Amino acid sequence: MNTTRTPTETREPRMERLARLPVFFALTDRRAVLAGGTPAAAWKAELLSAAGADVHVFADELSDEMRALTASPPGGAIHLHLRCWEAEDFAGVAIAVGAFEDNGEAGRFAAAARAAGVPVNVIDKPAFCDFSFGSIVNRSPLVISISTDGAAPVFAQAIRAKLEALIPRGFTHWADAARRWRSAVQASGLSFAGRRRFWQMFTAHAVKYPDQEPSQADFKSFIDATWAEGAKVEQGSVTLVGAGPGDPELLTLRAVRALQSADIILFDDLVSPEVLDFARREAKKMLVGKTGHGPSCKQSEINTLMVDLARAGKRVVRLKGGDPMIFGRAGEEIEACRNAGIAIEVVPGISAAQGAASRLGVSLTQRSDVRRVQYVTGHSGNGLPRDLDWRSLADASATTVIYMPTRTLAEFADAAIAHGLDPSTPAVAVSRATRSDEQTVAGPISGLVVQLAEAGLPGPVLVMIGRVFSEVARRERHGVQRTQQVGANL
């Protein structure tokens, strides 16, 4: 049977259907028409003015909110016309908004706007709208808008509140500095790679010091640092990134930044597809197929591909399930890059063992039961490794985690028991740890092989052995369901 395959590029999936096309209107000094003087209309007038529009309000009556807003607009001027709108009012208009109780009035307003080629929104009447207003997170010029297409406004507001808490207000100053400095960076004489490096430094600094006011000294520092890197700016690099055990929310911030700056991502079968969603869309994604027992690319081929891409000036991310430094063959890839003179960085990830233990609610180092944790591999080139320390593996005061165990678990268990491991020692097998389809099988180590075969769990599978899993085994024995928390509270 052929157990090798070649690296293959994966095509970016087509964009899934959008309920609305998210766009941002440029309204500075452009005319906007707003029909209605209600408090709801005043809020829309405030948005239009904040975006720089020259707002013309047509209404027979004006709310106190509208009058107060007109006296102190946040941006563009607001002009009051104490009359109903007319068709001629749409001449030269960029956008139109109406506030009507009556559907007939709403329909006539929308029809007149469309006849004049003006996009229209009627507040709380989606049947008459060409566009909708989303919930806004304002760090202008960084602006985020959230829409549920009117299906769940409260949900959109909850998401906005979450983003408000996550995104520092100081990003406003850094986004504005980026706007001011962009033309200067373009005129600096830096190459394309150099300009990209400048913005990477800028971004890293802004994320680390969001509340620091950007200054001209910062601009000069980033420019000077970029020039100081010299020819290295044009060279590629490799970053080994731990994708974690599967749940994309367990990615580290540094892993996300690496994915979003990569030109090419070389990933394994064990990486969940949801993790790749964090990569920038333009990045080329290549499957280099490393699995426990299925067809795989040769490690030498991966090393060569990785080095060749970096030599061509590409920013390469080598994406591995779990943590790349734990049974991820990271040492061979690091050595290949260093021998080729390629800059390499490692971004650790949540290990499969950590992820599985967190979902089980079990401490791997429970003070009353455990003196050490040991990670071993159940797979080598010719089956079970022959140089395992069986005395340590039989130690009742240790927690043992076995990677790639499925084909050799029976032999492993027999050998460990023969060297003194109590056959009743609790053990648990976890399939696809932290993913939505995670499954577990638990019981004494002497019977786990049979249980695992009967369950037919899909890979990747991790086996953990030790007294700390007594409660997990008890729940399994009595058929007690384990409750998992999915996601975080908004």
Tell me what percent of the residues of the chain surpass a pLDDT of 70: 94
The residue-averaged pLDDT of 130-155 equals 89
In the chain, the number of structural domains is 4
Residue 48 belongs to a domain: yes
Residue 210 belongs to a domain: yes
Q: Do residues 305 and 253 both lie within one domain?
A: yes
Q: Do residues 418 and 460 both lie within one domain?
A: yes
CATH number, domain with residue 469: 3.30.950.10
Is pLDDT larger for residue 356 or for residue 386? 356
d(CA 452, CA 410): 10
Residue 18 belongs to a domain: no
Q: Which residues are catalytic?
A: 268, 290
Q: Do residues 470 and 377 both lie within one domain?
A: yes
The mean pLDDT of the chain is: 89
22 CB-contact burial (10 Å; exposed 0-12 / middle 13-18 / buried 19+): exposed
What does the angle CA 285 – CA 287 – CA 292 come to, to the nearest 5 degrees? 145
CATH number, domain with residue 280: 3.40.1010.10
Is pLDDT larger for residue 85 or for residue 478? 85
The pLDDT of residue 295: 60
Residue 138 belongs to a domain: no
The pLDDT of residue 297: 80
Residue 22 belongs to a domain: no
Q: Do residues 303 and 277 both lie within one domain?
A: yes
Q: Do residues 129 and 242 both lie within one domain?
A: no
The pLDDT of residue 252: 92
Q: Do residues 322 and 400 both lie within one domain?
A: no
Which of 229, 256, 290 is the endpoint of a domain? 229
Question: What single-letter amino acid sits at 189?
Answer: G
Is pLDDT larger for residue 153 or for residue 220? 220
Q: Which of 114-128, 197-211, 470-484 shows the lowest mean pLDDT across its residues?
A: 470-484
pLDDT at 473 over 60: yes
d(CA 117, CA 95): 9
Tell me phi and psi for residue 98, to 5 degrees.
-130, 150
pLDDT band for position 71 (50/70/90)? very high
Model confidence pLDDT, tens digit, residues 262-301? 999 999 888 888 899 888 888 899 998 755 555 668 888 9
The pLDDT of residue 324: 92
The pLDDT of residue 475: 80
pLDDT at 145 over 60: yes
Q: Do residues 364 and 462 both lie within one domain?
A: yes
Residue 442 belongs to a domain: yes
The pLDDT of residue 487: 40
DSSP bridge partners of 287:
8, 267
Question: What single-letter amino acid sits at 453?
Answer: A
pLDDT at 420 over 80: yes
Nearest alpha carbon to residue 105 among 125, 131, 76 = 125
Is the pTM higher than 0.85? Answer: no
Q: Buried b vs exposed e over 375-396: b needs ≥16 C-beta within 10 Å?
A: ebbbbeeeebeeebeeeebbbe
The pLDDT of residue 489: 40
Location of structure tokens 């016309």: 81
Residue 147 belongs to a domain: no
Measure Cα distances from 20 to 151, 315, 320 in Å.
12, 34, 35
The pLDDT of residue 81: 97
The pLDDT of residue 289: 72
Q: Do residues 365 and 269 both lie within one domain?
A: no
pLDDT at 428 over 50: yes
The residue-averaged pLDDT of 356-380 equals 90
Most confident segment among 2-11, 76-85, 307-316: 76-85
Q: Do residues 415 and 362 both lie within one domain?
A: yes
The pLDDT of residue 13: 66
Range of the domain at 289: 235-349
pLDDT at 479 over 90: no
Which of 291, 324, 349 is the endpoint of a domain? 349
* Contact between residue 33 and residue 93 where contact means Cβ atoms under 8 Å apart: yes
The pLDDT of residue 484: 44
Q: Do residues 283 and 383 both lie within one domain?
A: no
d(CA 247, CA 404): 19
pLDDT band for position 490 (50/70/90)? very low
pLDDT at 7 over 80: no
CATH number, domain with residue 41: 3.40.50.720
Q: Do residues 279 and 317 both lie within one domain?
A: yes
Model confidence pLDDT, tens digit, residues 84-105? 999 999 999 999 999 999 999 9
Which of 349, 375, 408 is the endpoint of a domain? 349
The pLDDT of residue 104: 96
Measure Cα distances from 258 to 13, 200, 288, 305, 336 in Å.
21, 11, 18, 19, 20
The pLDDT of residue 486: 38
Q: Do residues 364 and 470 both lie within one domain?
A: yes
Residue 140 belongs to a domain: no
The residue-averaged pLDDT of 321-330 equals 91
